[in-house]
Structure 1
């Protein structure tokens, strides 16, 4: 969802770019697909909870209708609420009549909870079926092109992450070599460089990623000071002789 919203809401994009109707339809298709997949986990948890009935029984026992039970005729309303709220706690000191009422109320609540659970499952299944059918009918792409487009986006994201990781590693290794004179993990270290106080101050300063007037974005806290060092300054390191 973050990638999807950044593509259409990012302020770094061209201000005059117009989104075509095809892009809007594909964006809506992806939005509803992401939303549907995100709702699977909470709906599943809610359905399982309702089918089990324990949470519903605890929540609804205080509001159960017990006016037709004679055991509650001489019980005040506040005491009745207290007794009903304690039904799920299974108190052993209750009378036999109260235990009978408690079991009947618990059984009724379990029936209601399971009924709500199956209704939720039916509605969710129907909604998913209708949504999938509408998505395929309203999609501007045929089925084979839709599959290709989906796999293309997945492969693009995966390869981009691999390339970005490799690129950042190479860039950081280059700047570390300019700062210290060697790359971590290198076996053949013949020259090291001692950073100056100005170097440490430069790399300790906060960096800004996308500056409006800059030709390149600065993604490293090692700073421009290290990148801009001349070759004469780099050659003034300490040579390590075997």
Structure 2
């Protein structure tokens, strides 16, 4: 049981990483199944379009699915189009434009991992790229693979089906063309993988170098955010359950219940905005910022109400 709880805690802690890892694994398995079961190059004028559709459309679907599954994005988007948000302006739901752009770029990069996995594996397996290149109606492409051989240029679209279609070009030329296409496809695949890893490394280095806090405080920040979310989920469930129980009992018993304290809409909106670090005060999350400012306002109201002789006493008590 303890091991199960530990695994559950790790799953909750790294749910974003695990989610995109699972989506990338799904992309890898899907590409393998599609290329071996569903995909079959038509070996005619449809080669180019058919290969591009199988290479890019599933990648686009995985990209959109990655956006749909990102909770950080929906947290910022929810409620941004209501009248109150428009009245307050763009900063009502996003804080700062630069920080909003950072969130979008972060979500875009994470969502791009599964489709890039699909494309990289497809390029390494060559079949999609072979179908695309053999169907390109460009003289430059035909000359690059066939030189000045007119028969080869004419039969280039049939090369992906060379094992089942009789061709009028020699076996040596056929193997040479397939070898060139295979080399190009696999080189592009490895370059794509290397580019993604290099971009991730550079982005991580830039993010860490521009961190407003030290490494230890950054670890503390992450720990605080995880615990705050855990307690917020627990108390939200308990609070919602108590409110639901009160309302149901009131409905069936036809009794008037005492007032149930619940945060106002503006309070929920305040803690749902994007968090941005400032050097003026240390606010780890919007909830932390909301509580600290509320506390400061309460202290200010006490100072404005109490006589000078009582202010010092009240502040000492606080």
Give TM-score, length-normalised by structure 2: 0.45
Cα shift at 1:106: 2.3
Q: Whole-Å Cα distance in 1 between the matches of residues 86 and 224 of structure 2?
A: 22
Partner of 1:167: 239
Deviations 1:121-153 (A, max 9, x none): 222122111111111111211111122222322
Tell whether 2:250 aligns with 1:178: yes
Gapped runs of 5+ residues in structure 1? 182-192, 194-209, 213-242
Q: Does the C-alpha gap of structure 1 residues 6 and 144 become closer, same or farther in structure 2, counting only changes over 3 Å?
A: farther
Q: Does the C-alpha gap of structure 1 residues 136 and 211 become closer, same or farther in structure 2, counting only changes over 3 Å?
A: closer
Tell whether 2:178 aligns with 1:123: no
Q: Does the C-alpha gap of structure 1 residues 100 and 67 become closer, same or farther in structure 2, counting only changes over 3 Å?
A: same
More helix per residue: 1 or 2?
A: 2
User: Do the aligned partners of 2:151 and 2:168 also contact (CA within 8 Å) in 1?
Assistant: no
Q: Whole-Å Cα distance in 1 between the matches of residues 91 and 134 of structure 2?
A: 57
User: Do the aligned partners of 1:29 and 1:135 also contact (CA within 8 Å) in 2?
Assistant: no
User: Do the aligned partners of 1:26 and 1:140 also contact (CA within 8 Å) in 2?
Assistant: no
Q: Whole-Å Cα distance in 2 between the matches of residues 71 and 157 of structure 1?
A: 68
Partner of 2:176: 104
Q: Give the structure, 1 or 2, with the largest relative contact order (CA under 8 Å, sep 6 or more).
A: 2
Partner of 1:68: 147
Cα shift at 1:156: 2.3
Q: Does the C-alpha gap of structure 1 residues 107 and 67 become closer, same or farther in structure 2, counting only changes over 3 Å?
A: closer
Partner of 2:282: none
Partner of 1:152: 224
Q: What SS does the corresponding residue of 1:94 show, helix, strand or coil?
A: coil
Superposition RMSD in Å: 3.8
User: Do the aligned partners of 1:61 and 1:105 also contact (CA within 8 Å) in 2?
Assistant: no
Cα shift at 1:177: 1.8
Q: Whole-Å Cα distance in 2 between the matches of residues 149 and 5 of structure 1?
A: 24
Deviations 1:147-168 (A, max 9, x none): 2222322332333223222222
Specify which of 117, 135, 140 is matched with residue 44 of structure 1. 117
Tell whether 2:161 aligns with 1:89: yes
Q: Does the C-alpha gap of structure 1 residues 110 and 98 become closer, same or farther in structure 2, counting only changes over 3 Å?
A: same
Q: Whole-Å Cα distance in 1 between the matches of residues 249 and 213 of structure 2?
A: 50
Gapped runs of 5+ residues in structure 2? 1-72, 255-263, 267-318
Q: Whole-Å Cα distance in 2 between the matches of residues 140 and 154 of structure 1?
A: 19
Q: Does the C-alpha gap of structure 1 residues 12 and 33 become closer, same or farther in structure 2, counting only changes over 3 Å?
A: same
Q: Does the C-alpha gap of structure 1 residues 117 and 32 become closer, same or farther in structure 2, counting only changes over 3 Å?
A: same
Cα shift at 1:93: 3.8
Please identify the structure whose Cα radius of gyration is greater.
1
Deviations 1:74-98 (A, max 9, x none): xxx7xx2xx3323223452404635
Q: Whole-Å Cα distance in 2 between the matches of residues 28 and 123 of structure 1?
A: 22
Give TM-score, length-normalised by structure 1: 0.57
Q: Whole-Å Cα distance in 1 between the matches of residues 241 and 90 of structure 2?
A: 33
